[in-house]
Amino acid sequence: MLSFALMLTFVGFFTVLTVGRDFCQLSSLLKSGYEYSVIANNTFPKDDYFKFDAGIGFSIRTDGQSSINAEILMQSSSSQYTELVDWNAKRLSKYGIAITKGISRQYRINVGDKLYSKHIVDGTIREYVIEQIMPEVLCIRTHNGRSITEGIIIMGYDSDYDNNLMHSNIIYTKTPIEELATSTSEMPTNIVYRTDELLSVTQKLIPYLLIILLLSVSITFGHVTSTTIEVKYNIQRMIVLGFDKHGLDSSFRIMNFMIGFPAIVFAFVISVVIALVTGFSFAEGIFLLMELCMESLTILITTHVYIKRLWR
C-alpha cells in the first residue's frame, strides 16, 4: 500500500508542477465573459487598459535587482472595470497596484506591502503600495498556449505616463466589432477571441494530461497485477480444494480494495494540498477528481477481469 501510494503521490506532484499554472490560465479564461480582446489607439468606457511601449518594471527592493517577471498594465482614467474579465482590479490610486496571486505567493508579498519602480518619465524611484491581490493568471492574452511571465501587475492611472509615453489600449469586450470601431473612431487591430485562447491553452494541456492519466492507470493496473500474482497460486489451490466461489471472490476484492482505495485517496489528498500551496484552480480540481475516478475504475475493472481469469 505504501509503495502504491508513493507512486500515485509522485504522479500527483508531477501533475501540479507541470500543468498547474496552465490550469490557472484556463480557469481564468473560463470565468471571464468577454468575447474578444483588441488593440486600439483610443480609450473605451469599459475594461480598457493602457499598455506602454516603454519597459516598465517592478522590484521588491529599491535597487531594482529583484525585478518581477510580470506583464504591466495601467488603468485608464475613466474606464469602468467589470466582471467581464476574471482578473479585473478595482479602481486603484495613482501609486497603488494590484498583483496576481502567483506573484504574491512567489515573492511573499501581500496587500499593504510595497514594490518599487523607476518612473520612466522623470527617472526617479517610486514606491507603490499593493492595494489588491487578483486571481491567478499568467498573462493578459494567451498566444499559442505559451507564457513567459509569472503574472500581471496593474497600475493605477498616472497622467504623467499617459501624457508623455506612447501606449496602446487593450480592450476586453463582447461588443460587436463594428460598434466598437465606431466608439473608438477606428478599426481595432490584433483581435484575439477568448475561444481561441481557450483552444490554445487546451491544446497545450492535452498531451500532458494524457500522459498523466496513462501513467496513473498504468501504475494502478500494475499494482492490481502484482497483488494478483502474489496470491494467485493460493487462490487456485483453494479452488481445487472446493472453497466457495463467492467467498473467494469477495476476499480477493476486499484485499485489492483495502490496499488500493486508501492509497488512491491518500495520493489525492496530498495532490490537493500541494495544489493549494502552489495555486489551486477550478480546472485543476476537476482534473484531479478525474484522475481519482480513473484510478478507482482501473482497480474495479482489473479486479473483475482477474477474478474471471482465476476461475478458468
pLDDT of residue 144: 62
pLDDT of residue 55: 80
pLDDT of residue 81: 93
pTM for the model stands at 0.84
Q: CA-CA distance, 122 to 157, in Å (whole number)?
A: 16
pLDDT of residue 135: 92
Contact predicate 245/235, CB 8 Å: no
Instruction: Enter the C-alpha cell of residue 275.
Output: 495544489
Q: Please list the residues that pair with 9 across neighbouring strands.
A: none
Contact predicate 108/68, CB 8 Å: no
Q: What is the CA angle 219-259-243, rounded to 5?
A: 115
pLDDT of residue 88: 93
Q: Which of 157, 196, 138 is nearest to 48 (CA)?
A: 157
Contact predicate 209/20, CB 8 Å: no
Contact predicate 89/72, CB 8 Å: no
DSSP for 191-218, written as a single string = EEEHHHHHHHHHHHHHHHHHHHHHHHHH
Q: Please list the residues that pair with 75 across neighbouring strands.
A: 49
Q: CA-CA distance, 123 to 146, in Å (whole number)?
A: 32
Q: Which of 138, 158, 137 is nearest to 149 (CA)?
A: 138
Q: CA-CA distance, 149 to 162, in Å (whole number)?
A: 24
What is the number of other CB atoms lying within 10 angstroms of the CB of residue 291? 24
- Residue 199 half-sphere exposure toward CB, CA atoms < 13 A: 5
Domain ranges, ordered by start, for the chain:
2-22+200-310, 34-173
Stretches in the chain below the pLDDT threshold 70? 64-65, 144-147, 312
